[in-house]
Homo-oligomer: A and B are copies of this chain.
Amino acid sequence: MQEQQETTVTADHIKNVFARYCELYSAADVDGVVALYAPDATVEDPIGSAPYRGHAGIREFYAASAGSVLLEMDGRPRVVGNIGVGQLRATPKDSGMYIETTDLMVFNDEGLITSMTAYWSPDTIYYD
C-alpha cells in the first residue's frame, strides 16, 4: 500500500497537475505531459502492466495515443500529503465508448510526478 509522506508540495499544486494533465494530453501536448513527470518516474497504466520508466519511456507511452483521446476529470482529485488520486474518464474519439479510470499519482518535493498507477480494466469500459 502506498503510504503518504511529509512533503513541501501543496494540495493545490497536486489538484492543478491533474487538471493540466487532462488538458495537455487531450491537446496532444506530449512534451507538456512528460514535463509533469520526474526524470526517473514510472507509469503503470493499467495496474499490473509493465511500467514505463523515465522520460523516454513515458513519452513513448503517451505519444501512442495523444491526440485521439479526450481526457476529463470525473470529480475532484483527493489529495493526502504527496499523493493525489484522481477519477478520470478517457474517451477515444469516434469510438462510441469511454474508459473510466482512477489514477494514483505520487509527487516529489519539486512537485513532479514520481509514479502514476492507473486503475481501469475491461470492467470499467462503457459504451454510449
Docked-complex contact B48 and A4, CB < 8 angstroms: yes
Docked-complex contact B2 and A76, CB < 8 angstroms: no
Known: A1-B1, A11-B124, A83-B119. 18 other contacts (CB 8 A): A1-B2, A1-B44, A4-B47, A11-B121, A47-B80, A47-B83, A75-B75, A78-B102, A78-B120, A78-B124, A79-B123, A79-B124, A80-B119, A80-B120, A85-B85, A87-B87, A87-B102, A102-B102
Question: Nearest-CB distance from A128 to chain B (Å)?
Answer: 15
User: What are the residues of chain B within 8 A of A4 when measuring CB–CB?
Assistant: 47-48
Question: Nearest-CB distance from A24 to chain B (Å)?
Answer: 22
Interface check A115, CB cutoff 8 A: yes
Q: A47-B3, A48-B4, A102-B102 are in contact. Are A87 and B78 (CB under 8 A)?
A: yes
User: What are the residues of chain B within 8 A of A124 when measuring CB–CB?
Assistant: 11, 76, 78-80
Copies in the complex: 2
Interface size on A, residues (CB 8 A): 29
Q: Restricting to A59-79, which residues have a CB under 8 Å from any CB of B?
A: 74-76, 78-79
